[in-house]
Amino acid sequence: MSFNESEVNALLPAVKTLVNKVVKQNLAEGFLFSAGTDTQIMAYEAVKYKPDIPCLTLAFKHGQPKDAEYVKKMVELLHLNHETYQFDKDDVFKFYPQGVEALKKFDPMEIRNSLPVYIGLTLLKAQGIKTVYTGDALDELFGYPWQFHLTEEQFAIKQQEMWAEMGFASFPMAASLGMEIKAPYQDPEFMTWAKQLPIKYKINFNNGVKYGKWILRKAYEDVLPHDIIWRPKAPLEAGTGTEVLRTYFNDIIEEKEFNEKKAAIKAEDDVEIQDIEQLLYYEVFRKKFGKPKDVYPKVEGAVECPKCHSHLKTKIQFCKICGAYPI
């Protein structure tokens, strides 16, 4: 997408001013820090007001977290009051039931992605911290890599659909712990600006590579190292290393028992279970809330998921309860 260099340069100071403003307006006592584009920019601004803010990074001990090298560089650059907590399999088994209950769903990817956040919140709470920074909403406002192939018209439609259904796991998880999430990118002033921003400033090229959050990267490339501000987008489960969790559950239940439980759930609840990981999450959900079709009953305008029979008002063809796609 073409852009005018002088036009961009004129815009950059205002971008920095706005980000600084919303970070200041939403000050938090602690920081869940991944060193992704969203949190690295927030950290740069936050330490101006809270130089000693506790920053916590989560990494799965048995995985290969992709955030580690970027976290180390940002900690050294900004002299962050930082800690990395390496959670292990025991932590996962201790906290996944609480994660399922807080989110009221059993979508494996959602639970897997959210567990590091939940564990991090419990650790920060133990330090007496009640409000926590997250970078939630920046991807939804600026676009995901899987949308890069869309035409501008298609991208605009997908953005509208996402904005209508934006929701973030950190909020109900924090609420379940008596805590509050501070998300500067969800500040009304920032959201209004981002929604009106031309697409060419959201997704564009740098050295022949297409990036999301483009204008924000441009605004901070003079104060943050190039390899950090222009790091590729990494899914949360890849950044924390929890992507390996899907296989870590396989030795918990033998195949014969899994197949028996899977068949019983299909017969009794009319829910299709895809693997052992989802089975464990579903058992917690079922005990706490009941059958999905009863928990999320039919309402006008809702779509019925063919896999779990929850009813949802959605245009994105994705079941937020069990993770089925398309629905």
**pLDDT for residue 280 is more than 80:** yes
pLDDT at 234: 67
Higher pLDDT, 246 or 306: 306
pLDDT at 247: 78
**pLDDT for residue 1 is more than 70:** no
Q: Which two tokens stand for residue 99?
A: 């994660």
Say what angle helices 276-289 and 89-103 make with each other, to 10 degrees. Answer: 50
pLDDT band at 235 (very low <50, low <70, confident <90, very high): low
The pLDDT of 254-275, averaged and rounded, is 97
**pLDDT for residue 246 is more than 80:** no
Q: How far apart are the first and last CA of the chain?
A: 33
Reported residue count of the chain is 327
**pLDDT for residue 52 is more than 90:** yes
pLDDT at 64: 76
**Average pLDDT value over all residues in the chain:** 94
**What gap in Å lies between CA 45 and CA 76, rounded to an integer?**
15
Q: Quick one: which of 142, 133, 126 has its CA closest to 194? A: 142
| 229-239 as b/e: b if 16+ CB within 10 A | bbbebbbbbbb
pLDDT at 238: 62
Vertex 315: Cα angle to 156 and 282 (nearest 5)? 130
* H/E stretch holding 89: helix 89-103
pLDDT band at 244 (very low <50, low <70, confident <90, very high): confident
Higher pLDDT, 235 or 78: 78
pLDDT at 236: 58
* H/E stretch holding 32: strand 30-32
The pLDDT of 128-151, averaged and rounded, is 94
